[in-house]
Amino acid sequence: MKNKLFYIIRHGETEYNKLGIVQGSGVDMPLNERGILQAQKFYEYYKSIRFNKIYTSALIRTQQSVLPFIEAGYPYKAIPALNEISWGVFEGKPQSPVEREEYWNVVNAWKTGRVQAKIREGESAFELQARQLTFINYLKSQEDECILIAMHGRAMKSFLCTLLDLPLTEMERFEHTNLCLYILEYDGKSFEVIKHCDTSHLQ
């Protein structure tokens, strides 16, 4: 079996990203002008790669991030399991200092292994990973040799930990920015990171 390559990107910039407003799975915000430009730059840089399949979350910001590939005829499917984590009561509004503190308390809880912690009415890291697992197992079983996946910051952190057999306490090692790229190679048994939070395509 040939080794498989997984190109995994975070979506491009939205207006809420620019304003520091929490999005999460419950906010379906489109890309702003800069985000659309980022998507086009990514396409121009990687359009020679023959992706067998493109997967996005069910949210428009990920779909717009690979729209040039979709318009060029690449096979594509939206997967709700790739949606961002739910940030519960924080979604769709700026955070107060008190809410920011609560956010960091949850993230720090995840770092120490309390992966069931969550924002009120939101989703825990454990729940996020659990909904990703079936799709991850599906990906491993496919014969596609080159796959492009567009998803979200926190969802990407969980996804990468799972692919690399790391505990969720290690999520923070995976930095992200808008339209950053991770490339992983899969030999049928394990994954290796080839590129880490790469943005050279945006230069």
Instruction: Give the pair of three-digit tokens for residue 76.
Output: 């594509």
pLDDT reported for residue 14? 98
- Domain boundaries in the chain? 4-202
pTM: 0.97
Instruction: Give the pair of three-digit tokens for residue 54.
Output: 């493109």
Rounded to an integer, the average pLDDT of 93-100 is 90
Percent of all residues in the chain with a pLDDT value above 90, rounded to a whole number = 97
Rounded to an integer, the average pLDDT of 162-182 is 98
> Does the pLDDT at position 190 exceed 80?
yes
> Does the pLDDT at position 1 exceed 90?
no
Phi first, then psi: what are they for 8, rounded to 5°?
Answer: -120, 120
For the domain covering 4-202, report its CATH number: 3.40.50.1240
Judge contact between 63 and 151, C-beta under 8 A: no
> Does the pLDDT at position 176 exceed 70?
yes
Percent of all residues in the chain with a pLDDT value above 70, rounded to a whole number = 100
State how far the Cα of 11 lies from the Cα of 54, in Å rounded to an integer.
Answer: 13
> Does the pLDDT at position 2 exceed 90?
no
Rounded to an integer, the average pLDDT of 122-143 is 96
pLDDT reported for residue 64? 98
pLDDT digits (tens, 9 = 90+) for 7-59: 999 999 999 999 999 999 999 999 999 999 999 999 999 999 999 999 999 99
- Reference 7, options 200, 203, 195; nearest CA is 195
Band (95; pLDDT cuts 50, 70, 90): confident
Q: Which residues pair with 146 in a beta bridge?
A: 5
- Reference 58, options 31, 42, 24, 82; nearest CA is 82
pLDDT reported for residue 90? 95
Band (130; pLDDT cuts 50, 70, 90): very high
| b/e sequence 173-192, b meaning 16+ C-beta within 10 Å | ebebebbbbbebebeeeebe
pLDDT reported for residue 133? 98
State how far the Cα of 74 lies from the Cα of 63, in Å rounded to an integer.
Answer: 13
Rounded to an integer, the average pLDDT of 81-96 is 95
1-10, 76-85, 125-134, 145-154: range with lowest mean pLDDT: 1-10
**Number of alpha carbons in the 13 Å side-chain half-sphere of residue 118:** 16
